[in-house]
């Protein structure tokens, strides 16, 4: 592990949800519409909205694949490894995946000062429930209460777990944001997707949601847009659906692998097209685990839009994007390009630990930015995320 003269701040860590994370606070009469457990052929699975969920093959998590199991594969697979074989290398579930005290001990072992903590399944289930708005509200209010009980929204100023916010109902979103602020949350998280509401599917930057954005703006709390199931379709080129189950015979290339970045690109550029940052100049948005390869085209599209519609924009949307958005690249992305496009003060390091597609050890990332000057390294590894974690009231 690389040695630093400071402790890094990891902007992308995950927990694995407890057995009752999706049921503990859900009334029994609503569980059938939300999440239930079922045993099929001797294995336990989640039933979400009455259907078998395929997000992961083992939602009990024990045993679990090792952190970074397929990291080398994602970096070009130099050893020609079989990724399915790598995923089959399991270990007993470590306590730090579910317990905050054990996680703090792990932080110290890994050389980390603090981290942002996100769901594993929690960013996937809104899509499966989106046609039942009441179920979405019940489930994620309950899920956030479980989160506070098991992890806390701010555990000893070391672990900042993010309550999940759905925009299915603007009043609900505002209530959950107020609750999160009352618990001492420093970040909240949402998925990159248009909102499914009682009025239909609506852009998150629509003025209907201005009360939510206004409260974010006023409180100065950062919103993390984290990769999840955004409901993207391949329009028939490959079977749709979000799943960790791969096609028989191993991995095969398909356009489905672009869905995460497509979703983030569409979400972020729409905030600019609809002038959200003009209306709310104190917003801070962090894009986490969505990659960064879309950035050149995003800037090109924003410049084209401004040139064609100069009377529409009061301010340059590309400049506003760079002012209000922070990017966590995939660790296999070319960080030189990302820093060139965003500036070192808008790039944040995240390891995706302990997921299989993340880094085996968080500070493996230090080698990726070793050629940057010490000030830029520190911004990326610590200072940028630390600043986003501090409330910045308007």
156 lies in some domain: yes
Domain containing 200 equals 8-34+98-389
- pLDDT of res. 243: 57
Give tens-digit pLDDT for 234-245: 999 988 876 544
- pLDDT of res. 83: 81
- pLDDT of res. 246: 47
54 lies in some domain: no
pTM: 0.96
How many domains are there within the chain? 1
82 lies in some domain: no
- pLDDT of res. 245: 47
- pLDDT of res. 111: 95
Kindly list the distances between the CA atom of residue 125 and the CA atoms of 4, 44, 81, 190, in Å, as whole numbers in the listed order.
38, 17, 31, 12
Angstrom distance (rounded) from CA 134 to CA 168: 9
* CATH number reported for the structural domain that contains residue 294 in this entry: 3.20.20.140
29 lies in some domain: yes
Q: What are phi and psi of 201, to 5 degrees?
A: -85, 125
Angstrom distance (rounded) from CA 116 to CA 221: 13
73 lies in some domain: no
47 lies in some domain: no
Q: Using 50 as the pLDDT threshold, list the residues of the chain that sit under it.
A: 1, 244-249
């Amino acid at each position: 592990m690389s040695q630093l003269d400071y402790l890094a701040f990891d902007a992308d860590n995950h927990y694995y949800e407890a057995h009752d994370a999706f049921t503990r606070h859900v009334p029994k009469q609503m569980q059938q519409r939300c999440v239930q457990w079922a045993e099929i052929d001797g294995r336990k699975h989640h039933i979400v909205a009455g259907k078998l969920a395929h997000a992961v093959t083992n939602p009990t998590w024990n045993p679990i694949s090792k952190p970074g199991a397929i990291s080398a594969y994602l970096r070009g697979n130099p050893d020609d490894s079989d990724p399915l074989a790598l995923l089959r290398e399991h270990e007993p579930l470590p306590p730090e995946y579910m317990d905050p005290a054990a996680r703090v001990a792990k932080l110290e072992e890994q050389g980390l000062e603090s981290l942002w903590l996100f769901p594993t399944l929690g960013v996937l289930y809104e899509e499966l429930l989106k046609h039942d708005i009441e179920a979405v509200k019940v489930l994620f209010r309950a899920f956030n209460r479980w989160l506070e009980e098991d992890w806390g929204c701010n555990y000893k100023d070391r672990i900042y777990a993010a309550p999940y916010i759905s925009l299915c109902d603007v009043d609900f979103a505002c209530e959950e944001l107020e609750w999160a602020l009352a618990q001492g949350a420093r970040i909240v998280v949402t998925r990159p997707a248009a909102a499914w509401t009682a009025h239909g599917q609506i852009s998150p930057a629509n003025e209907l949601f201005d009360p939510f954005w206004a409260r974010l703006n006023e409180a100065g709390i950062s919103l993390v847009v984290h990769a999840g199931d955004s409901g993207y379709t391949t329009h028939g080129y490959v079977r749709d659906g979000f799943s960790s189950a791969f096609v028989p015979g191993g991995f095969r290339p398909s356009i489905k692998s672009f869905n995460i970045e497509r979703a983030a690109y569409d979400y972020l550029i729409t905030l600019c097209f609809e002038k959200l940052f003009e209306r709310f100049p104190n917003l801070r948005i962090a894009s986490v685990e969505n990659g960064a390869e879309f950035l050149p085209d995003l800037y090109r599209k924003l410049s084209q839009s401004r040139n064609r519609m100069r009377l529409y924009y009061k301010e340059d949307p590309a400049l506003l994007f760079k002012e209000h958005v922070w990017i966590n690249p995939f660790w296999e992305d070319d960080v030189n390009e990302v820093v060139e496009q965003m500036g070192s003060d808008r790039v944040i390091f995240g390891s995706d630990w302990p997921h299989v597609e993340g880094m085996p050890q968080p500070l493996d990332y230090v080698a990726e930015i070793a050629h940057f000057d010490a000030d830029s390294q520190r911004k990326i590894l610590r200072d940028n995320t630390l600043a986003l974690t501090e409330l910045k009231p308007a």
